[in-house]
């Protein structure tokens, strides 16, 4: 009898979770202003990056001595850095836009109605998280597709494995951005606060994660501090996979194993394909572990905060 009651309760909670998630996603897409502002952000960033940062990146690859390489390969390297920067920022900043629904429910009073209902706080919190993730990934994947089209126009050196890994990076970064935005937005109570936080994140996150400027160009002290931020490892992951094919092609043009290894290492260091934690190189699997661990930690913290806030109310 107890087992049957437990199963019935779990089934009810699952149905409630799916209903809330479906409702949150529908509300997000019904708000045309919120949806289009999220959708247009990656396109604007792609235009800005290609317009203002392409020449800066191109000079960094050529070096002070004007190192000669085929134009297509140079474009492929520059495009890989641009695309990785855009995706690393988009997956997080769009999550903050998608998560504004939680603030809207607070200002409209809908969240208070849900909090006084029999719905368990973790179910409500996870439904917001899942809806935000789904809304963000619907924007992030087309952004990745636009980046692939741009890469094909400029210089395609990606393999099927590279494309698959970039997509997996986008999914993981979207999960991280959703968890981060959930932990931040859970404390906000007005649209003005949400707009202020969104502006700060949009302006500052790209610098902190190494998307706008490689952290290799920062001072050693600042570099060590930034390496404690999980977003840095997300940028490095996308950058490694976006530049993998072009760097392999560049390596094939350099004669001598020692010279090839030295040139490729210097380039990877300069564009944050290689990142170092207090002088020790961070391996790819460690980057995945840090980003996934940070996402799970933030998700657990968000659920706990939601439970505590419900008790407070």
> Is-contact 98 135, C-beta < 8 A?
yes
Q: What tens-digit pLDDT sequence spans the chain (313 residues)? A: 555 555 556 566 677 777 777 877 777 777 666 666 666 767 777 777 767 777 777 776 765 454 567 888 888 888 888 888 889 988 888 888 777 777 777 776 666 666 666 667 777 778 888 888 988 898 888 889 988 998 998 888 999 999 999 999 999 999 999 999 888 887 777 767 777 777 777 777 878 887 778 888 888 888 888 888 898 999 999 999 999 988 888 888 777 777 777 878 888 888 888 888 888 889 999 999 999 999 999 988 988 887 776 555 5
Q: How many CA atoms lie within 13 A of 163 on its CB side?
A: 13
Structure tokens at 24: 């949150």
Euclidean distance between CA atoms 273 and 26, whole angstroms: 39
- Per DSSP, 50 falls in state I
Q: Report the 3 state secondary structure along 99-136.
A: CHHHHHHHHHCHHHHHHCCCCCHHHHHHHHHHHHHHHH
Euclidean distance between CA atoms 46 and 86, whole angstroms: 7
pTM here?
0.87
CA of 238: how far to CAs of 91, 194, 213, 243, in Å? 11, 28, 15, 8
pLDDT at 242: 92
> Is-contact 209 169, C-beta < 8 A?
no
E strands within the chain?
276-277, 280-281
62-85 burial, b if ≥16 CB within 10 A, otherwise e? eeeeeeeeeeebbbbbbbbbbbbb
pLDDT at 184: 85
CA of 250: how far to CAs of 51, 55, 147, 263, 264, in Å? 24, 19, 21, 9, 8
CA of 150: how far to CAs of 76, 80, 136, 155, 276, in Å? 10, 10, 21, 8, 30
């Amino acid at each position: 009898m107890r087992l049957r009651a437990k199963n019935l309760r779990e089934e009810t909670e699952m149905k409630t979770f799916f209903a809330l998630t479906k409702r949150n996603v529908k509300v997000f897409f019904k708000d045309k202003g919120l949806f289009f502002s999220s959708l247009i952000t990656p396109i604007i960033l792609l235009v800005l990056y290609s317009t203002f940062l392409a020449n800066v990146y191109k000079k960094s690859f050529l070096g002070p001595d004007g190192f000669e390489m085929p134009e297509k390969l140079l474009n492929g390297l520059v495009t890989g850095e641009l695309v990785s920067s855009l995706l690393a920022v988009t997956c997080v900043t769009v999550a903050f836009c998608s998560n504004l629904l939680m603030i809207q429910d607070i200002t409209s009073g809908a969240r208070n109605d849900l909090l006084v209902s029999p719905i368990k706080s973790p179910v409500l919190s996870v439904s917001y998280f899942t809806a935000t993730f789904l809304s963000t990934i619907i924007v992030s994947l087309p952004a990745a597709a636009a980046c692939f089209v741009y890469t094909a126009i400029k210089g395609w050196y990606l393999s099927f494995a590279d494309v698959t890994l970039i997509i997996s990076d986008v999914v993981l970064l979207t999960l991280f951005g959703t968890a981060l935005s959930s932990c931040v937005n859970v404390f906000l109570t007005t649209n003005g606060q949400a707009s202020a936080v969104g502006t700060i994140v949009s302006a500052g996150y790209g610098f902190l994660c190494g998307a706008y400027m490689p952290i290799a160009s920062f001072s050693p002290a600042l570099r060590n501090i930034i390496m404690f931020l999980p977003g840095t490892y997300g940028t490095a992951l996308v950058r490694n996979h976006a530049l993998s094919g072009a760097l392999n092609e560049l390596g094939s043009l350099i004669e001598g194993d020692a010279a090839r290894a030295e040139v490729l290492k210097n380039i990877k260091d300069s564009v944050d394909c290689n990142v170092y934690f207090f002088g020790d190189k961070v391996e790819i699997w460690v980057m995945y572990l840090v980003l996934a661990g940070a996402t799970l930690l933030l998700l657990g913290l968000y659920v706990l905060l939601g439970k505590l806030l419900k008790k407070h109310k």
